[in-house]
Structure 1
Amino acid sequence: MDDQNKNLLIATALSFAVILVWFLLFPPPDAVEDPNAPTVAETGIEATGDTASVPQSAPPPTGAGADTAAQPGVADSASDVPRVQIDTPRLVGSLSLLGGRIDDLSLKDYTETIEDDSEIVHLFNPAGGPSAYYALYGWAPGAGLTLDDVPGPNTEWQLASGDTLTVDNPVTLTWYSPAGLTFRREIAVDQDYLFTVTQSVENPTDGTRRLAPYGILARHGEPVNAKNFFILHEGAIAMTDGELTEIDWGDMTDLPPAPGLGAQAETFPVTENGWIGFTDHYWMATLVPSPGTGFRASAKYDAGRDIYQTEAVLPTVELAPGAGTTVTTQLFAGAKEWEAIREYQENGIERFLDSIDWGWFFFLTKPIFWVLHELNLVIGNMGVAIITLTLLIKALLLPLAYKSYVSMAKMKELQPEMEKIKERAGDDRQKLQQEMMSLYKKEKVNPASGCLPILLQIPIFFSLYKVIFVTLELRHAPFFGPFQDLSAPDPTSIFNLFGLLPWGAPDPQSIMALIFIGILPLLLGISMWLQQKLNPAPTDPTQAMIFAWMPWVFMFMLGGFASGLVVYWIANNTITFTQQYAIMRSQGYKPDVFGNILSSFRKKGSDKT
């Protein structure tokens, strides 16, 4: 029984260590930008190249067969095509009258780095420039119409009203089809990140016309700043009648071929509610048809042109002579802020909060984030909020931890007797086991009771790691002094005199970072070591050696982790040490941790002499 308990504990610790080694060997790569690449502002845009393809018509509501259309390439935005400026409290950019594309968008509230001169984050970029990414709308032709008769990505719209798109000033575009149809598009935007696109068409001709409205999000090439880290989903994301689908960038290139589309694709029919788009680490763009509207959602990859594409194609409408129709869809384009996305969900976008990657432990990550978010609102400092959250978690686990610490106190008291048994048993493992079991039974001690708090803490640890790594609210969140970004590794080291000198620490991915570790990993190692001094040492020499090295191994491993996570672990170790020390004293055992430490140093000094 004793071996089984020790093996359980050592297996748990080693499993944890293996996972940490994985994080160390396969960390999320830093964003790689070409320093010579021109910005959108420098290019003025608008070289030549391919862009998104036009989708096929959707099946009509009556269930008749779908009309198909060719899939031509789309011309890049031309520099001489007029643009309409976009200016809201949180967004700045422009839309092109070529195709009516929303293809130039930046986020006013977010910068690329924490440096004072850092640029704001660019979300959308026009075709022909670097990192092309844009939204466009149009109509797929049905019976009686050709591609030239409906507005698409190459259509040159006319500005009918509005000069700058603002929260209070929508803009209206018009286009008159060679087939005699009149198309209008009104684009509005709210105070955060939601565009409302209202497409209408009138048929003043004497013939019946059939056509299907659509929206497209297109990205040229995989994003250069994609993390490609297994703990985070980046790529296509769709909610289809309550079912969440995530397709990573790498998986999109492996989609099955779609006959007639000239691309690889996966299609999701939606009956009532859904949305589809692309999600990055902190930013997202999503097509959202009106709630209660059926549509066909598609994720595509065109290998020939290296274009990733998501589509929302609404059912084909049939326009009788003199009739018209209006279709309203929405476009989310912005930061994945929990409060903003929650408000959109409350206003009708089904399960929109699931666009944040909560992971398998969503039942832990969601409440942990909510508590952390509320604490930060009250305290005003995310680092202090993490420490306060740790206090709350430890308070919740205290009843369970109490029994564990009482058991550890008794085990610590039995340590001298266990050493005597070990000496008497010598190499006789069976005798050692029997005498240990007799001792445990006599003293009413369960050596396995200390494992449960450790096992419970592992999912909490990973849930908090997920929250810190994934959620936008931790990005660039300051703590104090040199710790101005809790989502980044500790920026201090002996190399910069622990933040006193004005240069940064070594790259977290370099060997130097393993040598010149920062303040937080050092505090972590010390706190783990102190906590370990309260626990009974394993009787097996190999296990004892492994446990003795673990604080220092973890100290180096966690040097490249998000500093917010290291803050949590330091706080957790400190609170655990305090709780355990107090409970041990309440049980009559008075651990002299610091005295033992000094004695061990004196002993080592005398041994050397």
Structure 2
Amino acid sequence: MLVILGWFALFPPQDPAPVEPTSTETTAQGIATAPNAEVATGVPTVDGEPADSRTAALGKTDRIQIKTSRVEGSLSLIGGRFDDLRLLDYNVELNDPSEKVTLLSPAGGPNAYYALYGWAPAGGLDFADVPGANTPWEVESGDVLTTESPVTLMWDNGKGLIFRRTIAIDDDYMFSIRQGVENTTDADVRVQPYGIVAREGEPETIGFYILHEGVVRASDGEIQEIDYDDMPDLDADGSEGGNVDKIKVADNGWIGFTDKYWMTTLVPAPGSPFTSVAKYTPSNDVYQTDMRQPTMTIAAGTTAETMSSMFAGAKEWATIKKYQDDQGVEQFVDSIDWGMFFFLTKPIFQVLHWLNAQIGNMGWSIIGLTLVIKAILFPLAYKSYSSMARMKELQPEMEKLKERAGDDRQKMQQEMMKLYKEKKVNPAAGCLPILLQIPIFFSLYKVIFVTIELRHAPFFGWIEDLSAPDPTSILNLFGLLPWSAPDPASFFAIFSIGVFPILMGVTMWLQQKLNPAPTDKTQAQIFAWMPWVFMFMLGQFASGLVVYWVANNTITFIQQYSIMRLQGVKPDIFGNILSGFKRKKAQEK
């Protein structure tokens, strides 16, 4: 540690320079809007802006503004695309309200990500007879899409078919889309409604194995996830010009793309059959999800309509649970990646969410959750710590056995087992609470990592984001020395541990001093190093997880100390610490 501090004193890392926003290269443009549909074309240059910028892409079409208390953006009248949406409750950077999270972006600009609706022709119709990706829609009613004022778009194909699309939005993130066809001809027509969510080029992902990012869908009670990396390996379908995975959904389902915190999902009306499609088109590098509804026959002189919804927003547990419970979007809560320990992660999060609603601070809620977990596990802990107290009483006799057995390990083990049997002590009893803590620890880590409720959630003081590592660093004496902490991506970041990781190591070390020391020297050395190894291992983990670990160690220490006193054992913690140092000095000599 002294060497590292000396290095940073001689060569302190520079503070990162502010990065000017730049435009990324334009992605492949165009998307098949339905089986065998037309392809959208390129984007012209807009004066004053780079041709591949987001602003230029937005400026090439007439638009209807979208404005609510939670989202803002616009709807393109070319294709009627949802391709401009920002989430007003979420900042890109902590404590910087200047830039909001952008969810949807138009084709022709960077990170193109959009949704569109249309009709596929059937019977004697062709694609020129139905609206698609490049159809110029007209505004029939409404000028701004708000929670109070829906908008209606209209397109007349000039051959007796009039298409209408009425779009509404609620107070959160759910759009309602009613598509209608008015048949003024003297013959029946057949068309198939569909919805598409598309991403041009593979998006940047966190790439962490415990988090799914890509396609997520529910199909009649079954959840399926497909990573972006796996989409090019879907079964090739020559008729559609890409790799396609189709599922026939009989009653209930939905499909879309999920990121860590955000999601865009197509949701048919509950009880409606549809074909759920995940598709990758290598020719233009487009990742796509389709909701293909059944083909409809519109009799001459009549009008037919179909309803569906689109969720585009943050994966807030309370919000998506409301859609699941109130609107019948089955398994919508499972769009959050709860992981293999879902039977633990779900109830853990629900308790944490309830505690936060009562307390109003996620950090204190994590500590409250720790108290709840420790209370549930207390009966097992009581038995375990009682057994460990008796083990502590046997420590003098164990030392005598060790002296008598010398280097004969077999004899030592036999004598120890005999002593345990006589005193009715189970040496493995102390392992049970630790074993139960392992899945709880992983589950809590999963909850803190994937749920948006922890994003940018403050605790107190320097902890302003419980989903990020402790920002303090021992390498600059927690801000007292005049240089910044190393970049998180650098090698030295592992040594840049903050206050809470150090507290975790200290509390874990103190907790060890309550336990009888292992008789085997190798085991004793491993246990002695374990707190400090964990301190560095967890130093770059989310601070919320480290807060839990510190609280857990502290409560465990209090519980164990109290139970041992009740059992008649008075732990000499400071004596154990001093004797540990003496043993080290003796070994060095």
TM-score (norm: length of structure 2): 0.91
Residue 257 of structure 2, aligned match among 256, 278, 289: 278
Residue 293 of structure 2, aligned match among 309, 314, 320: 314
Contact 1:78–1:98 under 8 Å retained in 2: no
Partners of 2:586 and 2:198 lie apart in 1 by 71
Residue 52 of structure 1, aligned match among 31, 35, 49: 31
Partner of residue 226, structure 2: 247
Contact 1:492–1:504 under 8 Å retained in 2: no
Residue 125 of structure 1, aligned match among 79, 85, 105: 105
Partners of 1:127 and 1:75 lie apart in 2 by 8
Matched, 1:344 2:319: no
Q: Deviations over 1:195-250 (max 9, x none)?
A: 001110011111221110000000111222x1121111110011011111100111
Partners of 1:502 and 1:159 lie apart in 2 by 60
Which is worse superposed, 110-119 or 408-417? 110-119
Q: Secondary structure at the match of 1:346?
A: helix
Aligned partner letter, 2:520 = D
Deviation at 1:505, TM superposition (A): 3.3
Contact 1:98–1:156 under 8 Å retained in 2: yes
Partner of residue 234, structure 1: 213
Residue 444 of structure 2, aligned match among 434, 439, 464: 464
Contact 2:40–2:133 under 8 Å retained in 1: no
Partner of residue 27, structure 1: none
Deviation at 1:604, TM superposition (A): 6.4
Partners of 2:483 and 2:272 lie apart in 1 by 55
Partner of residue 555, structure 1: 535
Aligned partner letter, 2:285 = D
Aligned partner letter, 1:577 = F
Partner of residue 114, structure 1: 94
Partner of residue 23, structure 2: 38
Partners of 1:496 and 1:159 lie apart in 2 by 60
Q: Secondary structure at the match of 1:182?
A: strand
**RMSD over aligned Cα, in angstroms?**
2.1
The number of residue pairs the alignment matches comes to 558
Partners of 1:597 and 1:102 lie apart in 2 by 65
Q: Secondary structure at the match of 1:223?
A: coil
Partners of 1:48 and 1:484 lie apart in 2 by 36
Gaps of 5+ in 1: 1-32, 57-68
Cα distance change of structure 1 residues 484 and 419 upon mapping to structure 2, 3 Å threshold: same
Matched, 1:72 2:57: no
Deviation at 1:563, TM superposition (A): 0.4
Contact 2:92–2:99 under 8 Å retained in 1: yes
Residue 191 of structure 1, aligned match among 171, 174, 178: 171
Q: Deviations over 1:333-372 (max 9, x none)?
A: 0000011101100121111101111111111111100110
Gaps of 5+ in 2: 1-17, 44-56
Deviation at 1:300, TM superposition (A): 0.6
Deviation at 1:305, TM superposition (A): 1.1
Aligned partner letter, 1:381 = N
Q: Deviations over 1:89-126 (max 9, x none)?
A: 10000010000001000000000111335511000000
Cα distance change of structure 1 residues 212 and 498 upon mapping to structure 2, 3 Å threshold: same
Matched, 1:488 2:468: yes
Aligned partner letter, 2:23 = P
Q: Deviations over 1:449-495 (max 9, x none)?
A: 11111111101000100000010000000001110000001100134
Matched, 1:137 2:117: yes
Aligned partner letter, 2:126 = T
Matched, 1:201 2:149: no
Partners of 1:569 and 1:171 lie apart in 2 by 51
Deviation at 1:255, TM superposition (A): 1.1
Contact 1:71–1:262 under 8 Å retained in 2: no
Deviation at 1:596, TM superposition (A): 2.9
Partner of residue 14, structure 2: none
Contact 1:75–1:154 under 8 Å retained in 2: no
Contact 2:470–2:500 under 8 Å retained in 1: yes
Q: Secondary structure at the match of 1:296?
A: strand
Identical counterparts, % of pairs = 63
Residue 427 of structure 2, aligned match among 447, 450, 471: 447
Give matches, 1:489-508, under 5 Å: 489-499=469-479, 505-508=485-488
Cα distance change of structure 1 residues 546 and 109 upon mapping to structure 2, 3 Å threshold: same
Partner of residue 20, structure 1: none
Q: Deviations over 1:271-291 (max 9, x none)?
A: 111100000000000000101
Residue 431 of structure 1, aligned match among 391, 395, 411: 411
Partners of 1:502 and 1:52 lie apart in 2 by 53
Q: Secondary structure at the match of 2:234?
A: coil
Give matches, 1:98-113, under 5 Å: 98-113=78-93
Partners of 2:560 and 2:357 lie apart in 1 by 31
Deviation at 1:438, TM superposition (A): 1.1
Partner of residue 456, structure 2: 476
Partner of residue 142, structure 2: 162
Which is worse superposed, 512-521 or 500-509? 500-509
Deviation at 1:81, TM superposition (A): 2.2
Give matches, 1:285-300, under 5 Å: 285-300=264-279
Residue 498 of structure 2, aligned match among 518, 523, 527: 518
Partners of 2:88 and 2:489 lie apart in 1 by 30
Deviation at 1:413, TM superposition (A): 1.6
Partner of residue 257, structure 1: 236
Q: Secondary structure at the match of 1:160?
A: strand
Matched, 1:581 2:561: yes
Q: Secondary structure at the match of 2:429?
A: helix
Contact 1:364–1:463 under 8 Å retained in 2: yes
Partner of residue 391, structure 1: 371
TM-score (norm: length of structure 1): 0.88
